[in-house]
Each structure stands twice: as structure tokens, then as C-alpha cells.
Chains A and B, each alone.
Chain A
């Protein structure tokens, strides 16, 4: 394999890993703050992908504009999801609360999946926006413009999230609850509200990833749970509690899929799970876990 092919595979992998990292960050944020594994996370991605598709297909709105318009609505949906389905479990014993909450999110995921399948009957099952921008070519290396724009948006959203977490009161409170919920509560942080905000933010990131996914690739009603599992792999591999680890995990999965898929397409999709096992055997806390 020549150097240009290696370069092409690396570029493809990094560009593909960006959206993974963005959605996985959302899942990590929710898990870090509330301790709840939100199995409906991928469903929010799917739903936002559908709404973005409808906005483009029916209303003719530019899909990149929709990336900024729709996810804020999903922040509210995520907040409401936590308020209605998760918060009522707050007074239960910790292990019961976590198990119940995870099961609630699983139930919600299945309901979202069925509703989307039902709504899709009679139309194209996979929603995909036929958006095309000519690619750039450097030597024999192709830089797909659409993926580059999407990667740029992913970086922008991640930078905004980092700023929010570092420089705003709510962001600092989110970090405090992630590190020590009881300590944060004793310092006057309203942990119940912060849980809701974390769900809202996590859902916002999943929704943004969904909008970007439908522009470049496609979303179908059944895509949610498998994606949630992949994001779980990424956050465990990167290290629970480490947002930098999650970003690194996303890029590693993107790269490994690209490189393994070149040699054997059949194993390209499975490599995430093999890598997870490998990383956990060597570093049980994940790559950047503390």
C-alpha cells in the first residue's frame, strides 16, 4: 500500500470518527452527571435525523441551517425526558434507581423505534439527504468536502461545549456534579436541575450528530440501539469521566473502521468491540480514565 492510500484511509477515518465522538460525548455527559446509561441516546440521534430530513425534503430548508435550528429543540426534549421519566426514580435506593432508570431508557428506546418504524411505513425506510458538494483532490488523495464541513461543525460544537463547561456557572456545576454529586449539593448546586441540564445537553449533542449523519449518510428507525452500543464502546474505551478520552475513542473507532475495512470489509464494523476488549484488558479504566 502506498503512502497516499495510507493518508486517504487516515483522512477517511478521522472524518468518520468526528460524528462518533460528538454523539458519544453526549452519552458520556449524561452518564457522568446522572450515572444513568441512557439507552435511548441513539434514538434521539435518529429522531433528529428524521426531522432534519423532513425540514429539507418538505420545506426545502438548507440542511446545514437545520443543524443549528433543530438540536436546541432536542435540548428541551432531553430535559423533559429526564424530568418526566428519570427524576421520579430519584428517591429510590441508588442501585435500584440506576437499574430502573436504565430499563426506563431501554423501554423508551423501543417505543421511539416502533413509532419511527410506523411513521416510516409507505415511505423510504432510510432517510438520506441527496446533498452533494464536489470533493477536493490533492495529488491522488480525495478530501470529501461534505465530510470536511461536517467535521468542522463537529469541532465547532465540541469547542462550544468545552467553553460552556469551563466558563459558565451551569457548566462548572455540571463538572462539579460529575466529580462529586454530594459535595456539589452541599455547596448549593441544585443537582436535580443539573441532571436535567445534562440530559438536555447530551440529547442536544446526539441530535446534532443525527442532523449531520442524515446529511452525509442516512438514518433509519432501527439505527438507534446499535449506535448507542457503539457510543458506549467509545466512552468505555476512552475512559469514563474523561471527555478528552471520549473524543480520542471516537477517532480511534473511526480510524480502525477505515483501516480494517480496507483489508476486510466484513470485520470493519466489528472492530470497535474487539478494540474495546483489548483496551480494557490492558487499561481497565480506559485510555484516559482516572
Chain B
């Protein structure tokens, strides 16, 4: 019997051919998609800035500062990432966190899940970062903290966060060095606003002074809501310190204290206000003359100084007007270093490079990150002269330039 070969029905053959073709297409398209996903077109950086709320007076212009940095990087073509053999532009996604930790956290969640950013720049202050950096841990995204250096941020395990600044209790180190060499000062009064950073920084200052043989005649913490400082000022007057130091991140709080100190005749030899952005100087007017402050940069003429000044100019501010502008600048430099070192946007590689970054600033200050996540950057002492902050650093220059306030408001 002549058996004819088994034939596939024409419709079934057509179906099989179509299925094969579709499978092949899906494979090719999928591979293409994977490749496209592997080669990003931009570096997406997510951040929140306090454009409103109590911190607005201290970091309000930093949205513009970040945009100025991104424009500057992009004007040079972007940042070269070896894995893609491409220079990618920086794309910033920013929101106003209203100076509220819970609002900040919700925006960082959004940045991770909706905006799909490659890395985070944290908000202002330890308290805000303590809330917001949970998003970094949850979504495993590298988190660069600009201002936030309290132990509570680094005692809990979270390998995705780090800061370029030294621990909060070392923040007054350079000012302590200056006082150690100044004559005529023996006693200190230290008041801190009831907030994570302020308490730690003030305690660090007190410890350093005690180690250097100074006497702390008054030390206390006042609630964030305090508006009437009369009782506190009375107690400080009774302690009769040579130096009164006020540690407060929120300008309104600091302004109230200083205005009332002047009104109630508190007249120490020196007044130290750790965070003294231009709104505080403006609110005090002539009374701000010779107040000591601290800044994350100092006057100089290195390429870094010039670059920082240009960024600030583009943001419509001057470097001395906002003490934290210097640390933002360092954070941007650190991000560039880390991305170049990682050569990719893969989160784990960027995280690793974030810790390995090692660079110098202002012609000599080295910035490194230790295994806990703290950096090595410290503040520089400054002093108000005719409505602007002038540098009391390097140390020898500071000793010569320093002038006591001597109770003159």
C-alpha cells in the first residue's frame, strides 16, 4: 500500500509558523529591551528641599543650587560611565518637603517607585534624614546625606546611606582649636534647640571645651516651640559666662533668642551662633556684628572656591550667606566622584563607590568616608563683619582676625 507521508493540516502549520515567529520576535525584542534598559539615557537624581517650613531660611535656595550644579555638569556633557561607554546628563527630580520628616519620607518613596531615580540626595538635618533614608533601605538606592551627621543615623544598620561630614559632636572642632589659642575666655554657656543634631553638636562642643580645661557654667536644651527665652536668658546672665553659644538649625528660633538676649542685656565677651544664614544676620541688623558662626567652607582662591562661588552665583546667593552651601557643594563633588568610580548606575556598585570615594577640597582638605558612613568634612569658624561672614580660618589668620563682641549689640 502506498502510504502518503503524514501531512500537517495547513491551518495548524500556519499557526505553528506564526507562534515560532512571534516567539522569535519576542526574544529579539526582549533582548533589545534589556539592552535598552541597560543603557540609560540619563542619571536620575532624586531629592527634597525645604522650600517652606522652619528650615526654609537655612536651605531654601538649595533647589536652585542643585539645578545650577546639574546644568554645570550637563554643560560639560554629563558624567562618563564606563559600563555604557557613554557620558550621561544629570536629571534632577526635586520636591518641597515642607521641613517635615513624614512629608520627606513620602516623597523619597515616590522618587524610588514613581520617578525611578538612580540615587538620592537627602534632605536637610538629621531628623529629616532619619525618616527619609528608610526609603533608601527599602528600595536599596544609594543615599548621599548632605547635612545629617548624628549618631542615630549611623548606629542603625543601613548600608545605603553615608555623609561627607564628620560626626555631629566633631562639628565644633576647629572653633574649639581657635578658642584654645585665644586668651581671655574661661567660661561658656551652651544652649541647644531640642532636636537631634543640635543636642549632639552642642554636647560635642561642651566635651571638647571641658577637655581643654574650660568651664561650662550653663548647658541646657530648649524646646523647638520656645518663643519666650526670658527665663533662660536670666539663668544664663546669672551664670555670667564669657561666651554664649547657641546651637539651633531653625533660624526663627535663633533669631528670637538673640533678639531677647539683646533686649534683656545679656552681654558676654563672645556670642557663637553655629548656624547663621543670612536671614538671621538680616533680622539682627547691626546687632549681629562680631557674632561667631560656622560655615562648611571658608574664604580662599582655589579652583574649588571659585567653582563653589560660581554655583552660588547661579543660584542667586553668595557662599557666606548660607552656611550649608559648602556642604552641598561637597556632596555634588562626592556624587560625581562616586559615579565615575562606579562607572555604572547599578545600585550596589554606586553604593560601594560612595564609601570608597576619596578626594581633596580647597587645596588640601581630604574627604573620605569611613565604614560607618561618616565623612571627614568639618566646619570652619567665621565672624560677622558689617553684615557678612568673614573667615576665621586658617587658624593663624583666625587668631589675628578675631574680635570679641564684648557685649556690644
Contact = CB atoms under 8 A, between A and B. Distances in A.
Contact of B98 (A117, A218, A268): A117
B255 A120 contact: no
B235 A128 contact: no
Interface string B219-243: 0111101111011101100100000
Contacts of B260: 144
A266 B222 contact: yes
Contacts of B53: 117, 125, 222
B287 A132 contact: yes
Given A218-B227, A269-B223, A144 B283 contact: no
B285 A130 contact: yes
Interface in A245-259: 257-259
Interface in B223-275: 223, 225-228, 230-232, 234-235, 238, 251-252, 255-256, 259-260, 262-265
B52 A121 contact: yes
B52 A12 contact: no
Given A130-B285, A132-B259, A144-B264, A265 B223 contact: yes
Interface in A106-151: 117-118, 120-122, 124-126, 128, 130, 132, 135, 137, 142, 144, 146-147
B51 interface: yes
Contacts of A122: 51, 56, 60
Contact of B283 (A128, A135, A137, A257): A128
Given A130-B283, A132-B262, A265 B232 contact: yes
Contacts of B284: 130
B194 interface: yes
B221 A121 contact: no
A193 interface: no
A126 B279 CA distance: 10
A289 interface: no
Given A120-B52, A142-B264, A268 B256 contact: no
Contact of A128 (B52, B221, B225, B252): B252
Category for how many chain A residues contact B: 35 or more
A217 to B, nearest CB: 5
Contacts of A226: 225
Contacts of A259: 231
Contacts of A203: none
Nearest to A264: B220
A258 B96 contact: no
B2 to A, nearest CB: 90
Contacts of A132: 259, 262-263, 287
Contact of B234 (A5, A117, A125): A5
B231 A218 contact: no
A12 B60 contact: no
A220 interface: yes
Given A122-B60, A135-B264, A217 B230 contact: no
B57 interface: yes
A257 B57 contact: no
Nearest to B194: A266
Contact of A265 (B60, B99, B226, B262): B226
Category for how many chain B residues contact A: 35 or more
Given A12-B228, A142-B265, A126 B251 contact: yes
B228 A121 contact: no
A8 B252 contact: no
A132 B287 CA distance: 10
A63 interface: no
B407 interface: no
A262 interface: yes
Interface string A1-37: 0000100110010001000000000000000000000
B54 interface: yes
Contacts of A257: 228, 231
B231 A128 contact: no
A218 B57 CA distance: 14
Contacts of B52: 117-118, 120-121, 125
Nearest to B63: A122
Nearest to A2: B238
Given A146-B263, A220-B54, A269 B234 contact: no
Interface in B193-212: 194
Contacts of A130: 259, 282-285
Interface string A205-228: 000000000000110101000100
Contacts of A147: 263
A265 B99 CA distance: 24
A262 B238 CA distance: 11
A9 B237 CA distance: 13
A16 B228 contact: yes
Contacts of A137: 265
Given A121-B52, A130-B284, A268-B226, A9 B231 contact: yes
A99 B283 CA distance: 42
Instruction: Find the residue from B51, B220, B222, B234 having the highest chain A CB count within 10 A.
Output: B234
Interface of A: 5, 8-9, 12, 16, 117-118, 120-122, 124-126, 128, 130, 132, 135, 137, 142, 144, 146-147, 217-218, 220, 222, 226, 257-259, 261-262, 265-266, 268-269
29 contacts: A9-B234, A121-B51, A122-B56, A124-B56, A124-B57, A125-B52, A125-B99, A126-B54, A126-B57, A128-B259, A130-B259, A132-B259, A132-B262, A142-B264, A144-B230, A144-B263, A257-B231, A259-B231, A261-B226, A261-B232, A262-B232, A262-B234, A262-B235, A265-B220, A265-B223, A265-B226, A268-B223, A269-B223, A269-B226
Given A135-B265, A261-B232, 4 more contacts: A125-B57, A132-B287, A258-B230, A262-B234
